[in-house]
Every structure is written in structure tokens, then in C-alpha cells.
Amino acid sequence: MTVTMFKGKLHRLTVTEADLYYEGSITLDRELMEAARLLPYERVQVLNVNAGTRLETYTIPAPPGSRTVCLNGPAARLVAPGDQVIVIAYADMTPDEAAAHRPRVVLVDADNNPTEILDLDGSDVADPSEPAVTNAIDADGLWSPRLGRTVSTRGAVRRS
């Protein structure tokens, strides 16, 4: 038996493009995909925060550092540049694998620059606006060399 578990997500990306005439998919910055542990051509769910729509498609990597978020093909009818979306991937696991699994969450700013990378631990959440985390990785150590600037993180979550 396997269960389908939340594997990783990019939270509140800003759509940069919508290309109706490209074959269906979502084109994402390769750095963002790697941070969320998303693979090229992996099936993902895309949730449009602005419109309330959900769709399934697959990922295509864009050049690293481009911060591209482009919905292609028919999915382009469900988003507009400037919309915020959440991109989620799932994985089938045995119950033992699921018990040890820690989903990855990448939080971004308005320009799709990562601000925090979190591994969730499944503990109870006292404040629903904050995720439960095992080891939060602040974006400074991971991303500042590529961005060439300091990225601030929320005060309560620090690199372990």
C-alpha cells in the first residue's frame, strides 16, 4: 500500500507570463524548482490565489535566476501575469516512508526571490499563519551568492 503525500511547493509565486500558444506546462526558474525539490517534467498542481482555480500540468525548467513563472497552453486561460500561484507536487510513499517524510516549502517575495526554505515536520501548529518546521533554512546562506544581495527572513526561523 502507498499513500500520496505532499512533497514540496513554491508558495505564492507571481506569474510573469502566460503563453496560450505554447504546448501545455508551467515553465519555472530552475533554481526555484531545485529549492522545492521539483523535477523537470514532474506533475504539479497549480493553485491560482487570485482566481481560485486549480489545474494540473508538468514542469519545464527555465534558466536559473530568471524567476520565470509562465503558464503555457490552455492553462494560460486560467492565469494572468501578476497573479499569485502556489505550485505543489505530491509523491506516493509507503507508510514508513511517509512517517519520515518532510515536505519542502519555498516562500518567495513579490519578485519570486526565495525568502525562506522550510522542511515541515508535521507537528501541531499553534499559529495557522506559521508552518511547523524541522529545519528552516534561511535564504541568506543558500541564495545570497546568486542574488548578490542579502535576503531577510522572519525572525523566529533560523538556519539549523
Which residues participate in the annotated binding site for substrate? 57, 73-75
Is 25 among the residues known to form the active site? yes
The Cα 32–Cα 42 span in angstroms is 14
Decide: residue 110, CB within 10 A, 0-12 exposed, 13-18 middle, 19+ buried.
exposed
Q: Of these residues, 58, 123, 144, 160, which one is catalytic?
A: 58
Is 58 catalytic? The answer is: yes
CA dist list (Å): 55 to 28, 44, 67, 80, 133: 15, 8, 21, 14, 27
Centre a 10 Å sphere on the Cβ of residue 118 and count the other Cβ atoms it contains. Answer: 22
The residue type found at 159 is: R
Which positions make up the binding site?
57, 73-75
Residues labelled as active-site residues: 25, 58
